[in-house]
Structure 1
Amino acid sequence: MQDFAGFRVWRQSGLDGIAQTLTDVLANGRFISIFAMLFGWGAAGLLARHGAGLFVKRHLILLLIGSLHFVLVWHGDIISNYALLGLSLLLFGSLGVRALLGVAGVSGGWWLVEKSLDAARSFAYQPLPRSANLPDLAPGITYPQVLSERAREFLPDLLGGSLYNGFWLLALFCLGAAAYQTGLLTRPQQHVPLLRRLAVWGTLAGGILGVWLAYLNTRADFASALLGIPVRMGGGLAGALGYVGIIGLLTVQGRLGWLKQFANSGRIAMSNYLAQSLVMTTLFYPYAGAQWSKWGAASTLALALAFSAGQVWLSGLIVQRYGSGPMEKLVRRLVYGSRGENHA
């Protein structure tokens, strides 16, 4: 929502500051980590069941969809990055659980150390002001102008982003692949001790790092912004594993309750993701609703929660009536051909 609406985190105060703090402590980095691990989980399953040919075909189709999403709708697309970097599982996806965890530890640890050292060097030698790191959306800019700029930026952004975040995403993909091999998500009753450890230590570490991130996001210097990157992603992963542990334990105990309502929105995640981009860029970008930089953290958080709640409700209706979302049906059709409906 910060990227869609164009507000600056370190300038939030009052109710906006409270909303930013809650987001940093409870959500920032957590759900993108869960999504990346689930991507690795699904990719490992596809590779194991159908082999490399279908795996590569699916990733090329996702790369095409993500490319169109980036150029036509929103520069923050992650589908294309995941599709490209997910091909690394051709090398690692069939490894054993211990080897996958080893790759995840080395890859993710190296990335965190490198980003932390970048921040340390910046604290010592570069007393620069913080950058908003937001798209350049001047008032009055037209859609063709934005389209042209995004088309020019797509390939450098895809390759640069893949290089910048590649080791971190590889770590998350490998964790997801390890979860697939152990049956953590499909047979949680067999992993109760692990789920307990994740729930306790993941939530604790994620909370501590989330508070640190909230502090860093009140500072307007470039070094704090750099340090916020490894703190956000490290704390996001810890918090994500904490949430996985909690949800896994609730599943084993049969106490999911209202959380079950989220299942249908997960089944049509791509359709929901693309719908968010379409609606939010239409509302905020200058060539449409022109609300760019006019909203703060509190109002955008309220909008995000309300819109997502609507999507959860609508997802239930769509799954009940059609079995799947439009983008999910399209991808399955392109990947599996006429057999697509058998892979719902």
Structure 2
Amino acid sequence: MELTQSKRIHLIDGLRGFSLSGIIVANMLIFQYGLLGETMPELFGIAGADFAFHSFLFIAVVGSFMPIFAFMFGLGMVKLADSLKARELRPKCHLARRFLLLFILGMLHATFLWEGDILTFYGATGFFLLLFLNRKPKTLLVWAALLLAIMGVLGAFPSDTGVTEFGDSEHTRTYVMQSRDVYGSGTYEEIKDFRNNADPFGTGEAWIMAVAVLLAPLMIAPMFLLGMRAAKVGTFDDPVAMRRTYARRAAVFVSVGLLTKSFSVIAPQFGASGLPGVGIGDTLGGSLLALGYIYAFALLYASSRRFAILKRFEAVGRLSLTNYLMQSVICTTIFYGYGLGLFGRAGVAVGTLIVLAVYAAQLWLSPLYLNKFRSGPVEKALRVWTYLSWKGQPRKPVRVEPPENAELSERIRA
């Protein structure tokens, strides 16, 4: 039991850390080309082998690692709620405070640093997820499957409906060209002003933004719900016993995810963007591939062999929020004009090597940091606010728990 419990704790941390490796690679396209420019490689002269690598990233990485983070968000939410209940505290009250701070951090992140923030969305989604906190696993599965089905249907329509060609207009292209100059050579104030005030869409396209805002939660909500269900049914409680289940699910989801995403990326390049189903990779494929990656990674913990790299993934995962924000600080400094000014200039392959070097540094530094401190500064602030305690601990007396359960609760809260 002790070994199984330990693997469960490390697996949760490791998955968080693993997701950040893909998140920084996917975000590199936004750091270097902008939130809209990443889908317009022709405006940055991306061609040949670099264009092929760009396509590869959109198939294997973009849209398939952020959902892993969402899955772990849902799983951690349920585990934290269970821990709060065991301490006779009100889960929804504490979780609401936690989500409020995430939302505020996200707003600050997006306003003062980078346009690709996800914390605002996660904080807002957390309040919605409170409606499902006490629901049965079957209910969570039904809702997740229903939302996935809706996204699959939306993706089945040809791209000329406007659903899969977001912001593809002359006005948007002009905006992207302007962003290339501003982000590449502008000062911090100039970049911040452009990010917060420039209009990427014309007045006639305002409805596109409204549609995107409505669809975004639908696309990612199933992963939150599936993560909550995984916590309730104990999907990762015994990795060894679940080895075959992980293997089967990984094989199915990775295959289907890669197939649908490949079709969505490659078909338009051959003039087939109007084919029915070409958008399924964008609306559904990313989540399916993310599930495949989750189960494939979990297989590493079902093995009797202890891979050294896993300990470093776990350390990055224990500092996930701090590391995520540090990625933004470092990468904007590398690509923006007030830093090295590599925006739109490094290329896709070189840009990927750059951000992987940043992540490698986090793999190296995170264990060293945890040798001296129990949690990261952002994680500590989140716990202080959640519990309204400078120690970051619940104020009420704690019931005696078995050592392994206490360790798991501590990791989940971090």
Alpha-carbon separation, structure 1, partners of 2:271 and 2:323: 33
Q: Displacement, 1:149? A: 4.4
Aligned partner letter, 1:144: E
Cα distance in 2 for partners of 1:256, 1:304 equals: 27
The aligned counterpart of 2:109 is 69
Residue 121, structure 1, aligned to residue 161, structure 2: yes
Contact 1:111 1:167 in 2 (8 A): yes
Cα distance in structure 2, aligned partners of 1:158 and 1:333: 36
TM-score (norm 1): 0.86
Matching residue within 323, 340, 344 for 2:392: 340
| 1:138 partnered with 2:173 | no
The reply on whether 1:300 has 2:351 as its aligned counterpart is: yes
- 1:118-148 Cα deviation digits (max 9, x unpaired): 625259x99x779668583534533223334
Please say if residues 112 and 192 of structure 2, whose CA atoms lie closer than 8 Å, have aligned partners that are also in contact: yes
- The percentage of counterpart residues that share the same residue type is 26
Which deviates the most, 14-23 or 81-90?
14-23
Match of 2:328 in 1: 277
Structure 1 Cα separation of the partners of residues 213 and 238 of structure 2: 33
Offset at 1:309? 1.0
Aligned to 2:376: 325
Q: Considering only CA atoms, is the larger Rg found in Structure 1 or Structure 2?
A: 2
Within the candidate set 247, 251, 258, 1:200 is matched to: 251
> Could you tell which deviates more after superposition, 143-152 or 99-108?
143-152
Correspondence for 2:282 = 232
Measure the CA separation in 1 of the matches of 2:230 and 2:333. 38
Whichever residue aligns with residue 253 of structure 1, its letter is S
Residue 27, structure 1, aligned to residue 61, structure 2: yes
Structure 1: distance between partners of 2:100 and 2:198: 20
CA contact (8 A) 2:158 2:278 kept: no
CA distance in 2, matches of 1:229, 1:303: 30
In 2, the alpha carbon distance for the partners of 1:22 and 1:254 equals 33
Distance 1:271 1:53 in 2: 24
Asked if 1:313 corresponds to 2:364, the answer is: yes
AA of the residue aligned to 1:58: R
Q: For 1:296-331, what per-residue CA distance to the aligned partner results, in whole angstroms no more than 9, with x for missing partners?
A: 111111112111111111111112221222211121
Are the aligned partners of 1:12 and 1:296 in contact in 2 as well (CA < 8 Å)? yes
Q: Structure 1 residues 118 and 46 mapped into 2: Cα distance closer, same or farther (>3 Å)?
A: farther
TM-score by length of 2: 0.72
Which secondary structure state, in structure 2, belongs to the residue aligned with residue 329 of structure 1?
A: helix
In the alignment of these two chains, the number of paired residues is: 339
* Aligned residues of 1:129 and 1:220 also touching (Cα < 8 A): no
State which drifts further: 45-54 or 271-280: 45-54
For the residue of structure 2 that corresponds to 1:94, the secondary structure is coil
1:86-97 equivalences under 5 Å are 86-97=126-137
* More helix as a share of residues: 1
- 1:206-226: per-residue Cα shift (whole Å, max 9, x none)? 2212432441574699x57x9
Give the match for residue 38 of structure 1.
Answer: 72
1:2 paired to 2:2:
no
Task: Assess, with a 3 A threshold, how the Cα gap between structure 1 residues 219 and 61 changes in structure 2: closer, same or farther.
Answer: farther
Q: 1:204 to 1:303 in 2, by over 3 A?
A: same
From the superposition, tell whether residues 330 and 19 of structure 1 become closer, same or farther in structure 2 (CA, over 3 Å): same
Contact 2:99 2:126 in 1 (8 A): yes
> 1:137–1:285: 8 Å Cα contact kept in structure 2?
no
- Cα 1:13–1:153 change in 2 (3 A) is closer
Tell whether the 8 Å contact from 1:137 to 1:286 is kept in structure 2 after alignment.
Answer: no
Note if 1:267 corresponds to 2:303. no
Q: 2:304 aligns with which of 254, 265, 278?
A: 254
Given that 1:4 and 1:281 are in contact with CA atoms closer than 8 Å, whether structure 2 keeps it comes out as: yes
Give CA-to-partner distance per residue, 1:74-116, whole Å, 9 cap, x none: 0110000011012111111221111101101112221332244
